Amino acid sequence: MISLFITYSGTPGDHFDKDYYVKAHLPLVREAWGSIGLLGIDGFFPTGTGAGFVAVIVCSFRDEAAMQAAFASPDLPAIMADVANFTALTPTFGRMVPL
């Protein structure tokens, strides 16, 4: 299994529609990538000011090939276009590396 982090950095005042994200965006991603190796996706919404994260998302894929297939899929443009429906913040992608 391989995990990908998607973070949205900002301030507590930045717009991020958590309801839309959970009820519409996550199902869109699950439907698009579930058949090509997405095992799970979940969002976390820190409440402290700490690192300035508004949202942290973890996507778990079956393996590296599944993750690469997801980002090469024809569904990626629609998934990325949907970001504007819940925030103006830019997502940052990073892979989790075991210690």
Q: Give the CATH number, domain containing residue 89.
A: 3.30.70.100
Per-residue pLDDT for 77 more than 90?
yes
Q: What is the pLDDT of residue 49?
A: 61
Residue 66 to residue 36: CA distance in whole angstroms: 6
The structural domain count of the chain equals: 1
User: pTM of the entire structure?
Assistant: 0.88
Torsions phi, psi for 35 (to 5 deg):
-80, -10
Using one digit for the tens of pLDDT, what is the confidence trace for 11-66? 878 899 999 999 999 999 999 999 999 999 999 988 766 668 889 999 999 999 99
Residue range(s) defining the domain that contains residue 56: 2-95
How high is the pLDDT of residue 12?
73
Asked if residue 83 has pLDDT above 80, the reply is yes
Supply the pLDDT for residue 65: 96
